[in-house]
Amino acid sequence: MADFSRESMLDMFIYEMNQLVEQLEQLIIQGEQGYSMDDINEIFRIMHTIKGSAAMMLYDNVSKTAHSAEDLFFFLREENPQDVDYSTLTDLVLECVDFIKNELVKIEAGEDSDGNPTDIIARVKAFLSLLKGEAGVPEEEVKKEPETEPKAEEKTVQNNEISLELRNGADYTAKIFFEEDCEMESVRAFTLLQNLKDYISNVTTVPEDVVADSSEEIIKKEGFSFSFNSDKTYEELCELIQQTVYLKSYELLSGELKRYKAVLFFEEGCEMENVRAYTVIHNLQEYCTNIKHEPEDVIDEAATEIIRKNGFKFSFSTGKSYDDVSKELYSTVFLKALDLEEISDDADEQKSESKEKTKVEIKEEKKEETKAKEEKKEESPKTENIALEPKTEAKPAAQKKPASAASQKKAAPTQHMISVNIGKLDQLLNLMGELVIAEAMTTQNPDLEGLELESFNKSARQLRKIINDVQDTVMSMRMVSLSTTFFKMNRIVRDMCKNLGKDVHLEVVGEETEVDKNIIEHLSDPLMHIIRNSVDHGIEMPDERKAAGKPEKGTVLLEARNAGGEVVIIVKDDGQGLDTQKIFNKAKENGLLKKPESEYTEREIHQFIFHPGLSTNDKVTSYSGRGVGMDVVMNNIEIVGGTISVESELGEGTTNILKIPLTLAIIEGMLIKMGGAKYTIPISSIQETFKAKQEQIFTDPDGNEMLTLRGDVFNIVRLYDFFNAESEVQNIEDGVFIMLENEGQHVCLFVDELIGEQQVVVKTMPSYIKKVRGISGCTLLGNGDISLIIDVVGFFDK
Amino acid sequence: MSMENEQVDMDLVLEEDTTKDKYLTFEIDSEKYGIDISHVIEIITICAITWVPETPDFLKGVINLRGSIIPVIDARLRFRKPEKEYDSLTCIIVIEYENYKVGVIVDTVNEVMYIPEESVSLPPNAKLKYQNKFIKSIGKVDADVQLLLDVDKFLFLD
């Protein structure tokens, strides 16, 4: 107990809770139109877990709130009432979620969780009794609860080898398994005993010394079992145990075993029937006792024939239900047929071959199973990322239904996930960067210049290849799908619709697109502001929409897709569009115009909405109108090196286009020389490089230089002019042109010479230096020199 | 336990003592300046500087300090003095101020000097010279006068 550290438990608690709450919110929003049974079960389970965890960490207010919500969903689950006011229900549950979220923020900040949930609990209760009234089940319901629950509980009773250890005089034996990688199993076991100590007595545990270091391993591998006496009923004890945090599965045993008899046939030609039979028995041993089988010596070769002919006969005792056992047995590989029956006693064994409702269509079941497996396989690559798809987080702390217990078991092999501290990944990435530089320093070492090093070069290439692979792996570990960020937006749209009286549907496309974790953090805020804008300013009121001949329900499309080295995120609404004139006037008022009025194109005017303090909304609402939002968007997007543009058609809608680099860290660059310095240009923006002849160049009356290439005309930017630097190479024919592409526009950049391609680790410019146009960051070269990375976009917006 | 605590407290006191009223002194055009030692991280000899476009002229560029990129300011140019070629005495004082890490190029670094509070006075009011605005106070040690730098203004004044 001495090293029972609440701190790290707290960390885990907060992490777990945040995941749960996020998932909960998604489920609730999805279910607003009507919850499916699965949703209700899931919400119920999550609420239950929250309740348990919070109670364990002594956050009573959170626990109580979750409890009241849990009650509500328990009722929905058991009674399945019709005509539920889902909208009110959703509001109510969201309020609960908000309350919990709020408390979590406080806990995270190290403050006391002091929110008072009385009000919300009262309202949940009121709603529940209203529901009960409607469903025509008055007070009875309360009494009914204990009746329905045991039914479910009984099925979870799993007899297994512990039964052998059932101590004389002990009423119960329980076996607990914690989630893998939950850490501190021994402390958790100890906490469990502490929690139970008021109800149970005469406890013996395996391992004996719970808090000893060695027991941690034992509990991890073999589970934590303990026998005890208690006045509590079986159900009450189940309930208590279920509150354990990170509970993976538990078995509580009180007594009676059932005896089953089975005959099993394998598919013809599957070979090695005896070994297969042995495997079946081996699996049975996990949860059954007193196993008898015929032939007795399955390992013997002769057994193969017998099994082939007569089938494999065996009997065993277990506390599991018939359904559970048959489910287990049906998962046997190459199973052809199975007869399973419950027999009252060992003595009845000879009794009959009375085929109790068996011989199910195995084929079909098996098909389904393989299908399910395949589906799981398909899912797994998606889920293998840092942030852990909610699915895996969702592991209910307690399984009330045997079905879910079974599916859990099957799913287990595909869950190869661990959660990693993002700090460690950042560190790994930094080291990766160092490694890339060190590799360049070594293989391009000046000492090697002019030497014939065939073998060295070969090894160097191999090293480079491996480093590249490692780098790709490190990068992929940091990729997280946008789905959580996107689904958060559902909530925003929903709340706004309610408050503004609008009807808007948020359509999400491509949410599985993956982006670097660091970038995702900067995306949430901008997206929120853009979507707010779209709903608040863009989408009109339903009657206006009707008058304009549009469907009353507005649509906001949130789409993400990969495009080269970038992720493009599009927020598109079918609202009223931007009022160009109004924006222009506002921009004029705010003195933002920098060139003659007539020269502004519609597109350029639209970009003004990203300027701070410019809001065309005349009245300030709770959502927007202060002119801050789009400025925040701009800043955040700039931090991650992205761009944003807006397109709009009056009356047709507005489209915001965000372009975000996939990753911040390492890019392919073209190293070029200009003046005395070396610059890096991202390869992704380079279309081609070429030398030009003097006759290709001409100058327009304003002094702008242009170049003709294959019949097209391109603008020329001389890099030294652009940066006001000095360069000896000024003659067009001495230098090199690099054709840069950005959003379909092209520019030819004139530089001194090309040095070569190189992978570079992007470092941000020190914050002391203000943002420089045309520079996006810098990188270290093999020799330790700094090379500035050119921001291609800078050459296009003038 | 309490013994240990005392020890820690003592260390804290010592720590404070080691930086209090101490200044790193450097020279520009034979004028002596001092900078509060608590801002100073290290002193390095002049190294390759990468010029950054579109920055004020006193901002000479960025250097690679063992893998981290830090901007460097030429104190001469900041004080509007004529530029001078860097030589073997030229140093970069790396300072950290409000999470900004910046290198300051000076003609030469002298020593760390203890200037007690009572020897420090405000600069004369008359702003005769331009550089005055970067000077927070004046420290007198014996007959010598050290111009104590106002780091905030030095870094951020336009």
pLDDT tens-digit series, residues A498-513: 888 888 888 888 888 8
- 3-state SS class at A385: coil
Does residue A277 register a pLDDT over 60?
yes
- Check A724 against B101: CB less than 8 A apart: no
Q: Between A544 and A135, where is the model more confident? A: A544
- Whether B64 sits inside 8 A of A780 (CB atoms) is yes
Q: What are phi and psi of A197, to 5 degrees?
A: -60, -25
How many other C-beta atoms can be found within 10 angstroms of the C-beta atom of residue A171? Answer: 20
Flag whether pLDDT at B32 surpasses 70. Answer: yes
Average pLDDT over chain A, rounded to an integer? 74
Of B48, B59, B99, the CB nearest to A769: B59
**Whether B53 and A772 lie within 8 Å, measured CB to CB:** yes
- In a domain, residue B36? The reply is yes
3-state secondary structure of A661: strand
Nearest to A262 by CA among A232, A294, A231: A294
Of A769, A784, A787, the CB nearest to B71: A769
- Return all residues near A530 (Cβ < 8 A) that are at least 6 apart: A571, A630, A633, A656, A658
**CB A245, CB A13: distance < 8 Å:** yes
Which of chain B's residues have a Cβ under 8 Å away from the Cβ of A787? 50
Contact at 8 Å (CB) between B29 and B81? yes
Of A252-256, A327-331, A394-398, B134-138, give the lowest mean pLDDT range: A394-398
- Yes or no, beta carbons of A765 and B52 under 8 Å apart: yes
Picking from A431, A719, A769, A771 by the largest number of B CB atoms within 10 A of its own CB, the best residue to mutate is A769
Q: How many domains does chain B contain in total?
A: 1
What element of type H or E holds A390?
Answer: helix A390-393
Put simply, the answer to whether A723 touches B53 (Cβ < 8 Å) is yes
Rounded to the nearest 5 degrees, what angle is found at the Cα of A96, between the Cα atoms of A508 and A24?
40
Question: Cα(A43)–Cα(B89) distance, rounded to whole angstroms?
Answer: 71
pLDDT digits (tens, 9 = 90+) for A144-154: 333 333 333 33
Instruction: Kindly state whether residue B112 falls inside one of the protein's structural domains.
Output: yes
Chain A residues with CB under 8 Å of a chain B CB are: 434, 677, 722-725, 763, 765-770, 772-775, 778, 780, 784-788
Q: How confident is the model at residue A6 (pLDDT cuts 50, 70, 90)?
A: low
CA distance A788 to chain B (A): 8
Strand partners, A646: A656
Pairwise CA distance, residues A533 & A646, whole Å = 12
CB contact under 8 A, A766 and B71: yes
Q: Rounded mean pLDDT of B104-121?
A: 89
User: Looking at this protein, which amino acid is placed at residue A383?
Assistant: T
pLDDT at A526 over 50: yes
d(CA A592, CA A638): 20
> In chain A, which residues have their Cβ closer than 8 Å to the Cβ of B63?
786
Any domain includes B7: no
Residue-level pLDDT at A739: 92
Q: How many percent of chain A have pLDDT more than 70?
A: 76
Which tokens belong to A305? 């024939």
Min Cα distance A743 → chain B (Å) is 25
* B15: in domain: no
Length reported for chain B: 158
Confidence of residue B102 (pLDDT cuts 50, 70, 90): very high
Identify whether the C-beta of residue A241 lies closer than 8 Å to the C-beta of residue A174.
yes
Answer whether A602's CB lies under 8 Å from A586's CB.
no
- Rounded CA Rg of chain B: 17
Lowest mean pLDDT, pick from A255-264, A578-587, A634-643:
A255-264
> Order of strands, edge to edge, in the sheet holding A566-573?
A504-509, A554-563, A566-573, A653-661, A643-649
- Contact criterion met (CB < 8 Å) for B64 and A786: yes
Mutate: best of B63, B64, B156, partner A, most A CBs <10 A: B64
Strand order across the A786-790 sheet: A753-761, A666-674, A677-682, A786-790, A775-780
Provide the domain limits for residue B56: 21-156
A712-739 pLDDT per residue, tens: 888 898 998 888 888 888 888 888 999 9
* The pLDDT value given to residue A625: 52
CATH code of residue B126 = 2.40.50.180
- What's the pLDDT score for residue B2? 45
| Cα B22 to Cα B117: distance, rounded to the nearest angstrom | 10
Q: Within A394-481, where are the H helices?
A: 402-411, 422-443, 454-477
What is the pLDDT confidence band of residue A670, given thresholds at 50, 70 and 90? very high
A363 pLDDT higher than 50: no
Contact assignment for A775 to B53 by CB distance below 8 Å:
yes
- Residue A774: its chain B contacts at CB < 8 A? 53-54
Q: How far is CA B44 from CA A484, A540, B94, B103, in A?
A: 48, 63, 8, 9
Q: What tokens does A707 get?
A: 């170049």
Q: In terms of CA atoms, which chain B residue is nearest residue A787?
A: B50
Least confident of A279-288, A396-405, B119-128: A396-405
Report the gap between the CA of B121 and the closest CA in chain A (Å). 30
- The answer as to whether B95 is a domain residue is yes
A690 DSSP β-pair partners: A737
* CA dist., res. B35 & res. A392, Å (int): 56
Contact residues, chain A, for B70 at CB < 8 Å: 766
Contact B95, B101 (CB under 8 A): yes
Of residues A722, A769, A785, nearest to B52 (C-beta): A769
Q: CA A382, A383, A386: angle at the middle one, nearest 5?
A: 115
Q: Residue A643, Cβ neighbours under 10 Å: how many?
A: 18
Kindly report whether the peptide bond that precedes residue A295 is cis, defined as omega within 30 degrees of 0.
Answer: yes
Under an 8 A CB cutoff, do A772 and B54 touch? yes
Q: Suggest the residue from B44, B47, B49, B54 to mutate for an interface test with chain A (most A CBs closer than 10 A).
A: B54
Q: Tokens for A413, please give them.
A: 């092999």
Option in B50, B54, B64 nearest A677 (CB): B50
Q: Which structure tokens are listed for A681?
A: 């240009």
Do A629 and A611 contact (CB within 8 A), yes or no? no
8-state DSSP, A21 = H
CB atoms within 10 A of CB A205: 18
What does the angle CA A145 – CA A146 – CA A149 come to, to the nearest 5 degrees?
85
- Are B140 and B122 contacting, i.e. CB atoms less than 8 angstroms apart? no
Stretch B130-156: mean pLDDT, rounded? 82
What DSSP line would sit under A349-414, residue for residue? GGS-----S----HHHHHHHHHHHHHHHHHHHHHH-STT--HHHHT--SS--SHHHHHHHHHHGGG
Distance CA A481, CA B87 (A): 54
Say yes or no: ipTM exceeds 0.85. Answer: no
Cis geometry, peptide bond prior to residue A551 (ω within 30 degrees of 0): no
> Which of A771, A786, A787 should we substitute to test contact with B (largest number of B Cβ atoms within 10 Å)?
A786
This prediction has a pTM of 0.47
Q: Are A113 and A102 in contact (CB under 8 A)?
A: no
Asked whether residue B2 is assigned to any structural domain, the reply reads no
B100 phi, psi to nearest 5 deg: -95, 130
Could you give the C-alpha distances from A79 to A75, A136, A142, A235, A399, in angstroms and in order?
6, 10, 12, 20, 19
CA distance B63 to A192: 57
B8 or A471, greater pLDDT: A471
3-class secondary-structure state, position B97: strand
- Of A542, A477, A487, A476, residue with least CA distance to A509: A487
Q: Looking at the predicted structure, is the pLDDT value of residue B11 above 70?
A: no
pLDDT band at B105 (very low <50, low <70, confident <90, very high): very high
Cα angle value A697/A701/A704 (rounded, 5°): 50
Q: How many CB pairs under 8 A join A and B?
A: 61
Nearest to A746 by CA among A798, A682, A795, A696: A795
What 8-state DSSP symbol labels residue A690? Answer: E
